[in-house]
A and B are shown apart, each in its own frame.
Chain A
């Protein structure tokens, strides 16, 4: 041994707890120890995290750090490096089922790396902006990937190979660039130790030990056959070379510091200041087609009510009504912006309308008193879903009965027979749907009205069809009409009456395009509730309550007609 650094009891080596290459590195360190002492058992290991692997060498806590340290100029300022003992590639570990082929594909996705590593820097530097997800230890990344917190893990292919071995659902993506030099870190205070380590590495490469260790640790399985060891091209390093190199490095560092002190400054806004893309609207699913459903003869036919309704508060045991009474309130979905059937009164903040009055009446029949109905506003599009999902017990929301919907929810007897008509600007000259050929007619998405406009057949030969214009809600159609973006709105006459009441310049025109029987939706799993509701409806129609509700909300449409006749299928 020449130089000042004299091994006493043993050589202290830091080895990061990394899942792969650990054995390889540890064996390399043992070879260094064997070369120093001529015997095994003189190497003591200490586990370090990626963030501290440089510091432990700098502070003299260990003699060597063999913790897959990538050789960079920045690190070189802090510690000395041995010759490169492994050329790794920076790759990305992704789930086998994911489509990613390289790190650049993870644009806007989270990619994991340990903090204080060149891998994290690689993520930040990728021009497609993957989102860096720093963790303390490399293994935390595998956990994050398995838990779906990140879409990829960036690290040397050697480390990733170890992870992939632990989880068969993952795969290594990205080209094999072999451009990440990995070396052993040595304190700058002991250049002679660096020389010595280099000598050992060179011998290991020459006598085939390097290739043997490579294969012994299974790296050939994960990464392919052993490449030529990078140390084979290591030039002979003598002490004098080293000193002149150190001197050169010092001059270079001084020069770099000078240039660094006057490097051109750039002021790009940081990644965190990137704006977020504007609001995305989910497309409304296409209207269910009116195609006939086998076995559905009369969609209006509902379950016959019991001969006599149970008294309020005394529902038959085991029935769904009994469960509702036990719960203490009835949950009903109503519309929030469709006067006069269901709308929130801006002054009181309470829902009100024809549908709401019906819901209150059903609540009274269940509980015997007011105040047991809890309302939830729903959109036209989610009416079926909230019943099927058991979010509400009933939906009273101008729901048109048809065979298609009947396969999803049960319907009560028809409580209102709406006529689909048209709303146009006063003085526009339109009298029928046929006059609106080639004009835009608005209806809410997901409604039968929209479907009917789209398939309108009531037109003279040679004239184009009206163009359906879909809006999220009925009121959005009113806005579009007021702004002149559409020529007409088509939906139930009752709702059109509500719109006309908000704007004196609108007129309801045309004969009925279609009769739309409205009924209350109930879950298919509770036919006893459907029967009960039908009984309540029959009672309301018989005792004049239905007529009173009609008069209260739809009086502007004219005289109160006879209530729709209920039809039953049993």
Chain B
């Protein structure tokens, strides 16, 4: 069946090619086909990229940012709860407020995430968050009430709450963020497939080459040197080719900009902030545990080591904070002070710890942690929050501008190539008619 059809097509072509007007008609069909191929390549590339960028901009990007926010907000709440508890039965208003804001912000983000819909694979993590955060706040509430009454059991409640946060809630937030990061990565790859511009370039070169060759051969045979229609069709095809390649390239470079100046700093700074909050919370809990803080101290040291400083303050260039400081880009000024602020806090934390294990130094250690320790940490945390927000905003605007690069391109390409096809038909029709 197919073979018979193909043979019929070949026969028809041979018959047509036997006469000059038939040959011209065949050339016309070929040129229009080349233009259609270019249109297909350009249109499919543009539409699929638009779709992928819209996914990153509207779904996976905001979801990733939200997942990171959830992690940071919950860490903030946990560390603030410990800091407030340390102050005694009457909690400092600022710390209490930080705790409540952290929980409220995280809950709002979770609600937004679940409304936006997360992939089924991450549903269990979201369930852990929604089911365990109320348990956590309940435990913190019990810890506070006992602490207010001066009952020693309050500290044990707070330890349990923090343990729940660190071992099940925050890892769930981590899994959520990792899954969303995977979706962002997928969106990025879909939005920048290398073969799309290559296909556009190849089909465009074919169409342009065919148009030029047809005009040259037409000029040689008929000695009519310029057809306005054909020239216009060539110009339109060239413009479409150039415009499409330029826009695809602009869209790609904006996505690269969003990644290098937004996504990467955002992930690194968010991790730095989470690690710092963990070290700070551990330090408070260690004091609350009245000396039973060996595990917590070790955990704080591990978090600090990941940040890039060992227990005696020696800098490790592979750590998170030195890495954040090395990232260049337009917002690097927001990240440079982080390392300095952290060092200030760490100095205070080291002296707090040595006071706490000194005989009779416990009270002084608590005072130091509540005073200098809290002040220096807040300065770091505020700076980290600013850096995080800045890079999140940069990511958002760059992805948006990448999406803008392709706006309307599909329509322009379709209209221009339709006109080019009309130009080809109109340019050859007079030559074909001459044979009648």
Contacts and interface: CB of A to CB of B under 8 A. Distances in A.
B271 interface: yes
B156 A476 contact: yes
B143 to A, nearest CB: 9
Interface residues of A, number: 62
Contacts of A349: 88, 362-363, 366
B188 interface: yes
Q: Is the interface of B mostly helix, strand, loop or mixed?
A: helix
A375 B359 contact: yes
Interface string B338-361: 000000000000000000011110
B335 interface: no
A376 interface: yes
Interface of B: 88-89, 146-147, 149-157, 159-160, 163, 166-167, 170-171, 174, 178, 181, 184-185, 188-189, 191-194, 196-198, 248-249, 252, 255-256, 259, 263-264, 267-268, 270-271, 274-275, 278, 282, 289-292, 294-296, 298-299, 302-303, 306, 316-320, 323-324, 357-360, 362-363, 366
A379 interface: yes
A391 B359 CA distance: 8
Given A265-B259, A266-B188, A275-B174, A379 B156 contact: no
7 contacts: A262-B198, A264-B189, A265-B189, A266-B188, A378-B291, A379-B291, A502-B153
A132 interface: yes
A476 to B, nearest CB: 5
B181 A276 contact: no
Nearest to A269: B267
A377 interface: yes
B264 A375 contact: no
B290 A377 contact: yes
A269 to B, nearest CB: 4
Contacts of A379: 289-292
A282 interface: yes
Contacts of B302: 276
A350 B363 contact: yes
A469 to B, nearest CB: 14
Contact of B360 (A131, A344, A346, A374): A374
B155 A475 contact: yes
B291 A499 contact: no
B152 A262 contact: no
A259 B89 CA distance: 65
Contacts of B296: 279
A273 B303 CA distance: 13
B171 A264 contact: no
User: Which of A265, A351, A498 has the most chain B CB within a 10 Å cutoff?
Assistant: A265
A472 B170 contact: no
B359 A272 contact: no
B123 to A, nearest CB: 20
Nearest to A502: B151
10 closest cross-chain pairs (CB), A and B: A336-B290, A374-B360, A273-B267, A377-B290, A475-B156, A379-B292, A269-B267, A265-B192, A377-B291, A331-B359
A337 B270 contact: no
A278 B78 CA distance: 14
Contacts of B150: 345-347
Interface in A433-479: 472-473, 475-476, 478-479
A263 interface: yes
Contact of B194 (A264, A344, A479): A264
Contact of B295 (A280, A376, A475): A280
B318 A375 contact: no
Contacts of B154: 346
Contact of B291 (A268, A339, A376): A376
B323 A270 contact: yes
A375 B270 contact: no
A333 to B, nearest CB: 8
A83 B8 CA distance: 58
Given A262-B252, A272-B324, A479 B156 contact: yes
Given A262-B248, A336-B291, A346-B147, A134 B156 contact: no
User: Which of A278, A343, A498 has the most chain B CB within a 10 Å cutoff?
Assistant: A278
Nearest to B324: A272
Given A273-B271, A280-B298, A478-B156, A502 B249 contact: no
Contacts of A267: 181, 184-185, 188, 259, 263
Contact of A273 (B270, B282, B298): B270
B156 A473 contact: yes
A133 interface: yes
Interface in A354-409: 374-379, 381-382, 391-392
A267 to B, nearest CB: 4
Contacts of B248: 262
Contacts of A475: 152-153, 155-156
B326 to A, nearest CB: 10
Contacts of A569: none
Contacts of B267: 269-270, 272-273
